[in-house]
Amino acid sequence: QVQLVESGGGLVQAGGSLRLSCAASVSISSINAMGWHRQAPGKQRELVATITRGGSVTYVDSVKGRFTISRDNAKNTVYLQMNSLKPEDTAVYYCYVINNQYLYYWGQGTQVTVSS
C-alpha cells in the first residue's frame, strides 16, 4: 500500500505563490509517474501536472508558465511550485502516483485558496 502525505496549501492573494509537497512511502525512482490533480467545488477533477519515471513533465494548458512540477528522489517527494496564482486556481489539490504495475494511488488533498 502506497501512502502519500500532502502539505503546503493555504490562503494566498492573487499573484502570490505556494509550493505543495507530496511525500511518498515508496521509492519514487521506480514508479511510472507522479503528479497533481485538483478539484474545485462543483467541478470535475482536473489533471494539473505529471512527472514521469524518465523526468518528462506535462501540464494542463491553464497553468503552463506558472506552475512547475519537480521531485527529490532522495526524499521520495514531489513538489508543485505555483506562481502567479489566480482565483480560478482555487481547489483541493491531490497528489497521485502510478506505480510500476500501473496501479493508481492518491493522497488526502490540500486546500489552495486564492483571493481576488
- The tens digit of pLDDT for each residue in 62-114 reads 999 999 999 999 999 999 999 999 999 999 999 999 998 999 999 999 999 99
Please answer whether residues 70 and 79 qualify as being in contact, where contact means their C-beta atoms are separated by less than 8 angstroms. Answer: yes
Which amino acid, one-letter code, is at 49? A
Q: Is the pLDDT of residue 1 over 90?
A: no
Closest to 34 in 3D by CA, of 75, 63, 85, 71: 71
